[in-house]
Structure formats: C-alpha cells, structure tokens
C-alpha cells in the first residue's frame, strides 16, 4: 500500500518555494568548483542548480535546471546495489563487500590495504562499487551495463520503450583517466574480490557512471526508495523491499563519502551524491528528492544539492532519526 501524501507540509510545497532554494544554492555554489579529474565533467555550468521533488502519488514539483542532463557518476551506486542484490542475492554481495562507513574520500584505498577486513568497507565507495559492477550478470562490460540500464529505465520512470542513455564523451573521458580505479580493481582481483575479467568489470563501472539523468529522474528514484521499492502512483514493485531498505541504510551511513556523518546530522535522511553534481535523497513513505549542482565542495559533494536537501528536510520535517 502506498502511503498517503495528504500531509500539510507537502501540500504547501510549490515551485516558488523550490525556486527560492535554487537561488540560495546558486549563491553558495560560488565557493566550489566542478570536478576536473575527469576532463569532460569540468565543462559543466558551475552555476547550474536544479531540484525536483517526487511525491508518493507520482506528482513532480520542480524548479531551476531540473531537466538539465548530467551523468550519474557515484549516484549510480544507489541503482547498482539494489539491482545486484535482487539479481544475485544478498549473501553473495556481502561476501565481497562490507557494510561499514570509512570516513575516507570516495577513491581512497587506505583501509582496503591496511585493514584485516580485506574487502571494500561498503558499496558506496569506489572500491565497493567496482566490486558490485563485476557481480552484474553478463560476460562483457557492455552486457553487464545493459541489464543495469534496463533496471534503471524502469526505476527512473522513463516512458515505456525508452532506455536510459549513456554520455559517450564522459564515458571515454572517464575510461582514459581512470588510473586509480584500475589500481583499485587489480588490487581487488588480487584479493579475490573482483569477479571475471578486470577490464570488463571496469568497463561496466564506467558505463554505469556515465548514465545520463536529470534531477527529475533522481527524484523518481528517491521516491521509489522512499516507498521501499514501489513505483510512485502505481504501487508496482520495481525492486524488493529488502534491497531498497539495505540501499537506504548504506546511503544514510556512507552516501556522501567523508561528509556522510555531517549530512546525516543536518538532513537526517538517506542520500547519495556523485561528482557529476547530482544527489538523490529518500524520505521514507513520503517523497524523493533529486538535485543537480555541479559546483562541488572539497569532499566531492554538490554544494547546492546539500543546501537544498537540508532545507527541505527542515521545512517538511523529513528528519527520520
């Protein structure tokens, strides 16, 4: 059963209120910069800010650059994890990836090398996400990504018959500058974590990161997670309840890299960020939020997105803890 959205605070949410938050996000974004370690991402408009809220009945409220396309990057981890959990099972996934936060940057390998744990701490950092990508069904990276793209097309609420698109320029740019991720993948292979051929697993990972989305798409993903895997409005199951809940738990503890604790204190809802400028957030039983703002803080999180989501959590009393 889909929870009712007949809540006073949601009913007062309108495009004008979101536009005010967009303006605040634009001003704050002046302090950051776009990601430059992937050359294609550095060309994003740093002043762009968009926000979309998807209620449990499927209705969308949006403002700013909410329809501007960008690539998922690490937000894709919030799609890849439930897809793999439902495809191969939880036991097999967590035999290779842990469930603990690191407090380290997203591409750090310090704990992977130094800890007796000997596997990535969680699926929301690069090491864990690369291991997850290697577990996707398919022999080649393209085959692995095709399954994920099909799953994503349904969860993102794309029209029937349409499939999520990949940004070929970003994919090529990412693959050409991925020395650290290749090092991580080969180290995972040495530990017996990486399944199949290393380059095929990496190819799948690069393809998932280069998936094109908008803030509206992310809000639909957030709403699906908020409803424990159900499609907004129709109530159709798009992912299992368990996969949605496991994903949200890891988003809450690990979703904003080494800024996860601070964001959890300020927003109190599960969220996942990416260096492409996107953030997806889910307020259980109520709504999903998608934001876009490619100007990043030092931790790689969208400045505008963080401000907008924290403000919405306060205004709508979304804090879950």
Annotated catalytic residues are 74, 77, 205, 257, 275
Contact indicator for 293, 94 with CB cutoff of 8 Å = no
Helix (H), strand (E) at residue 71: strand 70-71
The CA distance from 297 to 279, in Å, is 13
Token pair listed for 99:
């469930």
212-213 vs 271-273, strand pairing mode: unpaired
Contact indicator for 211, 155 with CB cutoff of 8 Å = no
Give every CB contact of residue 164 below 8 A, 6+ residues apart in sequence: 149, 152, 153, 156, 158, 211, 212, 213
Bridge partners of 62, per DSSP, are 52
Q: Is the dihedral of CA 103, 113, 250, 65 positive or negative?
A: positive
Helix (H), strand (E) at residue 143: helix 141-155
The CA distance from 10 to 263, in Å, is 22
Residue 250: CA count within 13 A, CB half-sphere: 25
Q: Which residue has the tokens 């009945």?
A: 57
Q: 268's torsion region: left (phi>0), alpha (psi -120 to 50) or beta? A: left
| Residue ranges of E strands in 18-97 | 50-55, 60-64, 70-71
């Amino acid at each position: 059963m889909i929870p009712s959205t007949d809540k006073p605070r949601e009913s007062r949410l309108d495009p004008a209120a979101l536009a005010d938050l967009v303006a605040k996000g634009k001003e704050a974004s002046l302090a950051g910069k776009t990601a430059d370690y992937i050359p294609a991402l550095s060309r994003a408009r740093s002043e762009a800010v968009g926000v979309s809220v998807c209620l449990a009945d499927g209705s969308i409220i949006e403002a700013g650059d909410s329809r501007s396309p960008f690539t998922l990057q690490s937000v894709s981890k919030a799609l890849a994890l439930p897809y793999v959990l439902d495809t191969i099972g939880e036991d097999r996934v967590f035999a290779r990836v842990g469930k603990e936060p690191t407090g380290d940057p997203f591409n750090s390998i310090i704990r992977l090398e130094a800890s007796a744990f000997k596997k990535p701490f969680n699926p929301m950092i690069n090491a864990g996400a690369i291991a997850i990508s290697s577990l996707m069904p398919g022999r080649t990276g393209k085959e692995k990504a095709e399954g994920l793209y099909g799953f994503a097309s349904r969860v993102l609420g794309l029209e029937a018959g349409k499939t999520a698109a990949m940004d070929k320029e970003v994919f090529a740019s990412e693959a050409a500058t991925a020395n650290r991720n290749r090092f991580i993948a080969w180290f995972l292979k040495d530990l017996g974590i990486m399944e199949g051929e290393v380059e095929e697993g990496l190819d799948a990972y690069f393809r998932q990161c280069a998936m094109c989305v908008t803030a509206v798409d992310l809000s639909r993903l957030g709403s699906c997670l908020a409803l424990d895997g159900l499609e907004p409005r129709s109530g159709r199951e798009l992912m299992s309840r368990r996969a949605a809940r496991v994903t949200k738990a890891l988003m809450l503890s690990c979703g904003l890299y080494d800024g996860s604790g601070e964001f959890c204190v300020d927003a109190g809802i599960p969220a996942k960020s990416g260096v492409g400028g996107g953030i997806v957030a889910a307020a259980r039983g109520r709504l999903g939020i998608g934001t876009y703002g490619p100007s990043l803080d030092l931790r790689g999180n969208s400045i505008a997105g963080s401000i907008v989501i924290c403000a919405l959590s306060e205004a709508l009393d979304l804090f879950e803890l």
